[in-house]
Structure 1
Amino acid sequence: MTRRSVIKSLIEEQLAAANSVPRAEPAAERMPAGPVRSMSLTLDKMEEEARALQKALAAGASVVELDPALIDRSFVADRFDAADDAAFEALKESIREHGQEVPVLVRPHPTQEGRFQAAYGHRRVKAARALGLPARAVVRPLTDAELVVAQGVENSARKDLSFIERATFARDLETRGFARVTIMAALAIDKTELSKMISVASALPDTLARAIGPAPKAGRRRWMELADLLKGKGALRRAELALAEPGLSADSDVRFLRVLSAVSEKGRETARPVVVRTPEGAALARVSRDATAATVRFDLATEPDFADFVVGRLGDLLQEFRLRRS
């Protein structure tokens, strides 16, 4: 690779060939993240060139139509999947009515011939697939580093990713071995902010963060507060129980506040036992809970054989419980 940025050369190619039919190009050899440190591009230069590429794509340079079924996601996710995403439905409706106005950026898939990998525009590809339409795309060879910078810069320009999504993206890139200068370019942030992002994302169980969702109203301070509270005894279990409550709102900001409230409660290591009574009013069982377990104590004087009956029915009860929950 020459010292000149590949992204810059791609822009020049697009402007020169805007009115020509693009030729299929072989996938570029993948560059491991380590050599990025030796590249002469500075953080500002990488951002500048990625933004210039974004503008060239928006102008429609060298756009082709691809079957969206042939386009795979980037190797690292930049946003959380949402079960009920009103913004995606709005995007899909817009494409249905007006067509896909802004093309996506893809590269030839580095390991699967005949397929492509998206740098950005994943939701546009998903919408095109759902509508049965071709995806308008620009196909260019990109190294892994160039792909994630283009991916991050486009999302930074849109300003629709939440703090925890950006933090998780940064952590995942570092886990994959990308240099911090590349991650800073992708997110358009300085090294101090990057360190804070990675610290917060690393302190949170990934499954918990994704179960909560993007929570766009919760900034870095609130997520840091949650990460600190989760270090407490039984806090993670309380958070998981809060998310498992029936009827919990689909709004991720509401879920975040519910989890934060659950782990913030003091002195909740034990709760007052619940007494289960027979229709006649006699004590049948006592249920007590702590942060990690629930204990049922049967009163054998009331129904001597009831405990054995319940134990024998646990398998059936579990199956019934799972059916109702689903």
Structure 2
Amino acid sequence: MLLVGAGEVGAKHLAALTGAPGLAVAGVADPAPRTDVPGGVPLFASWRPALKAVTPDLVVVAAPPGTALAAARDAAQAGAAVLVEKPATTDPAALVPRPGDERVFVSFQPHFAPGLDSLLAEPAAVVRAEVLLAVRRDPGYFRGWRRTYAAAGGVLHQQAIHGLALALRLVPGDVEKVDATVAHRRGLAETEDHVTAVITLTSGATVHIDARIDHDGPPVHELVLHLADGRRLDVRGRNLEAGLGEIAAAPTHEALRRAMYAAVLDAADGHPTHPCLFPLTALRRPLEVIDRVYRDARVVRAAHAAAA
């Protein structure tokens, strides 16, 4: 396995790969790693020479969106199975299918939480989905590539995309109407503090978003699904990791990542694709919805003046 990107997210993958059955880290590609590279593992300044030297079976791309998609596609062209951290790109137009894209999957480890495989394999009739995010991100988090929208996107790309992408896999229809508000009050580079939106789809279903990164309470990222038959399903946890099960029994993030690696390798070997895998081309729809939310939103800034 080759890891592209040795920053905050790359460190999480290195932790998950420790003890992962049948996987060994054969190289790390990063011009300026910010996490310790395991002893004896070659470090490369770029993914291209690393792909030639390592010839990996699996490539995990944990690089910023500006380079992640190019690295993932190069790795797929080299014959590897590829897992790329969300959101891979912030530009939906970049996801026009290319040869090799079928070997690339977007990393949404909470989608492997308990019960979600059955839900995705046989989707229920969802009439209303609620994406709820409440976390605290302070100025120190928004440094480097995260400082600008062009490089990182906004709260919906970086923070709420796990729940939003899952909701959109379960709710049919094209976007008919968006009623959204984006609040910028703390001046954290270009990012926003709070996004609320109601997205009405042509199927009649709605997706409701309440995503904030200025929350002082316990962090939570959940998805509530209201079904046509009156039932309600709650995908719960700090970051959806409990799935449809009990929070106390939620698997660790390392366990979820290991399940994700195994599923990608199985798909690359020709086995049926795991229902929780998120193909690269399927990312286009959530990115288009996110673009529409930001395009149509009312923007509220520190002076509380709204602009269209």
TM-score range, shorter chain: under 0.3
TM-score, normalised to structure 2's length? Answer: 0.23
TM-score, normalised to structure 1's length? Answer: 0.22
Bigger share in helix: 1
Structure exhibiting the larger radius of gyration computed from Cα positions: 1
Bigger share in strand: 2
Higher RCO, 1 or 2 (CA under 8 Å, sep at least 6)?
2
